Structure 1
Amino acid sequence: MNTIEDIARLAGVAKSTVSRYLNGGSISESTRKKIERIINETGYAPNSFAQSLKAKKPNIIGTIVPRLDSFATSQILMGIDEQLREQNYQMLISNTSQVVEREVESVYSLSNQKVAGILLLATEITNAHLKAFSETELPVILIGQQHEKVYSYVHNDDAAAFELGKYVLAHGHRKIAYLGVTEKDIAVGVKRKEGFKRAIRAQGDCEVRFYETTFQMEDAIEITSTIIDSFNPSIIVCATDNIAMGALKAAHLKGIPVPSGLSITGFGGYAMTNIVHPGMTTVKFEYEEAGRQAAEGLITLLNGGEIPLKNISDYRIIERGTVDNKMTK
């Protein structure tokens, strides 16, 4: 691999002259052409991260994610990466393994690495987060969560859950289990549950029980087994597709046919929901597009533009084979 030293030697100039060329500094036209020719001949590619640290205007965007083994996260990252590449920005990823304290630490760490701004797929927003945003003075955009003082790109969790609730009721289900997550997660734990509750309140004649699990499929398998034994609902509405897949596995282990013995729905529109049998009925969020829009929004802010404080992405219900229509029976 060629280095700046190699380019300087081949061009017959000082290393500092090559650095000025790469960073847009002032050099003579003849020297510029000479360096340009050598770079083209050698195929030299400058280290974007090192350049960014030295440049007055960095082009590295820090992206903080709660986990890497998530379909939603991977899709959002794909959207972010595509948009940043189109605008000549680079992405630096920090994984927090769903530890809130590590999210805050990552904000300070990325700031020390001179990133231009931060895209944060937060699990929750605490006072420690807000303090970090204020002290680092970096432009920050939240993806998937919302705070009144921070730019955010959110999924329409409340409206989507309300529509899913109406869908479940329209299919004749009246004995319903809702399997959610901790309310520390405002988007998934609170807004989805509240949207679903609104649909149920509008109906009135339902027996509904609310349960809580983690985001892990294995935990969903265990609690679904308990729900079936203690409540025996006609449907389990799950706050994520991972949880829904756990519920599907639990039904299979108990020998309960889906959807005739137990109906199941998810949230997210993960790719695996179309692979399993029967295919999972779910709410699909446009994760990749949300990533693109958030990256575009951050670049707009970095260039002195304005964006709305809150931005909402689209959703749609995908009807497959895990919801029994009891109205036809």
Structure 2
Amino acid sequence: MSSTISDIAKLAGVAKSTVSRFLNGGSVGEATRKKIEKAIKETGYTPNPFAQSLKAKKTNIIGTIVPRLDSYAASQTLIGIDEQLKEMNYQMLISNTSQSLEREIESIYSFANQKLAGIILLATEITDKHIQAFEAVNIPVLLIGQEHKEFHSLIHDDYHAGYEMGQYVLEKGYRNIAYLGVTEKDIAVGVKRKQGFKQAISEGPECQVHYYETEFNIPAAQASAYKIIKESKPSIFVCATDNIALGVLKATYSEGLTIPKDLAITGFGGYEVTEIIHPSLTTAKFFYKEAGQTAAKHMVDLVNERPIEKLTISKYEIIERESVDTNSKHIL
């Protein structure tokens, strides 16, 4: 069984990031260097031959790290990245982390060890370990979906989408509202969308809003919706993602309620399925494929040391469909 960076780190008594920095040609202290070299000799560790052969060369491969592949947003973003990179004679290498932050960090170091030209991270959360890894690998990094002042980022306009959705709900006359969001560890979806919505509510007429949290998947949202319907009997659910809205939709039908007569629902995302289902879903549509294309262009600029803005904000659009009663100004 071949040895790994983890084996070297454990034997040398140092962090994996330190070993990775050493293998990647980064600076480490003399004592640390000797420990790592000794551990490499004892374990018989052999660096990735692909990375070794590219030691002094610039590749045309961009590493893209994605938290999950079974996501409409992720898949459309990846399509955009891939198509644009091909046009620019670059290739994409994907690492799926299955929503594991530990695997996400490992992927950053792995891509750097393979001497990839740059890394695009479809981020759900930026931790201190992410920042440490970005600084250690010393290659261009671009975040999609989350913003960080130290790194180039492309985000969706979550705050203003939430704000406009709040205005829309109030305009349609809804006053007993359930907002079903996600963990605030996710700044974009869990915080900014909710902040924008709250701001719009605070500027509007008096109403009752209950805020709840669930997970991103449909079954969890469905289970949450059952409890909320019984607890607060809202006239509308504002859901932080389209998947959550689909979970609420299932719960609503199970309770024998009619949409939008008995209960209205809105989402965020603009997934294709939301147009096909009946009733079709009112949602804030984000343009994921176009965002992926823009991210690919920006990454190639970074690789070639051309200046780009630190922060790019992608557009959105409120799509009005059947899940909201547009004639119900009287609703309370």
TM-score by length of 1: 0.83
| Alignment deviations for residues 41-75 of structure 1 (CA, whole Å, 9 cap, x no partner) | xxxxxxxx899947711011000001000000000
Deviations 1:70-129 (A, max 9, x none): 000000000000110001111010111111222111100111111100000011001110
> CA separation in 1, counterparts of 2:263 and 2:229?
9
Contact 1:100 1:123 in 2 (8 A): no
Opposite residue 241 of structure 1, the aligned amino acid is: D
Gaps of 5+ in 2: 1-49
Amino acid at match of 1:260: K
Q: Amino acid of the residue matched to residue 329 of structure 2? A: M
Identical-pair percentage:
59
| Residue of structure 2 equivalent to 1:327 | 329
1:327 is paired with a residue whose SS is: coil
1: CA distance between counterparts of 2:54 and 2:268? 40
Q: Any idea what the Cα deviations from partners look like across 1:116-166, whole Å, max 9, x if unmatched?
A: 000000110011101100000010000011001010000000001100100
Deviations 1:7-66 (A, max 9, x none): xxxxxxxxxxxxxxxxxxxxxxxxxxxxxxxxxxxxxxxxxx899947711011000001
- Does the CA contact (< 8 Å) of 2:162 and 2:197 recur in 1? yes
Corresponding residue of 1:46 = none
Compared CA separation, residues 258 and 137, structure 1 to 2 (3 A): same
Structure 1 segment 1-329 matched on structure 2, within 5 A = 53=54, 56-325=57-326, 326-327=328-329
- Cα pair 2:55 2:115 within 8 Å, conserved: no
Q: 1:176 to 1:328 in 2, by over 3 A?
A: closer
| Letter aligned with residue 172 of structure 1 | G
Residue type of the alignment partner of 1:208: V
Residue aligned with 1:97, SS = coil
Moved over 3 A (4+): 49-55
Equivalent pair of 1:103/1:122 in contact (CA under 8 Å): no
> Is the contact between residue 58 and residue 115 of structure 2 (CA under 8 Å) also seen in structure 1?
no
The answer (yes or no) to whether the contact 2:125–2:186 under 8 Å persists in 1 is: yes
Distance 1:54 1:108, change over 3 A: closer
Say how many residue pairs are matched.
281
The 8 Å contact of residues 142 and 153 in structure 2, kept in 1 or not, is answered as yes
Q: CA deviation at 1:303?
A: 1.1
State whether residues 51 and 113 of structure 2, in contact with CA within 8 Å, keep that contact through their aligned partners in structure 1. no
Q: 1:161 to 1:170 in 2, by over 3 A?
A: same
Max Rg structure: 1
Alpha-carbon deviations, 1:273-317, whole Å to 9, x = none?
001000000000010000000110010111120000000000000
Structure 1 spans left out of the alignment, 5+ residues: 1-48
RMSD of the alignment, in Å? 1.5
Q: Distance in 2 between matches of 1:150 and 1:102?
A: 20
Tell me if structure 1 keeps the 8 A contact 2:225–2:248. yes
Distance 1:178 1:114, change over 3 A: same
Change (3 A) 1:143 1:273: same
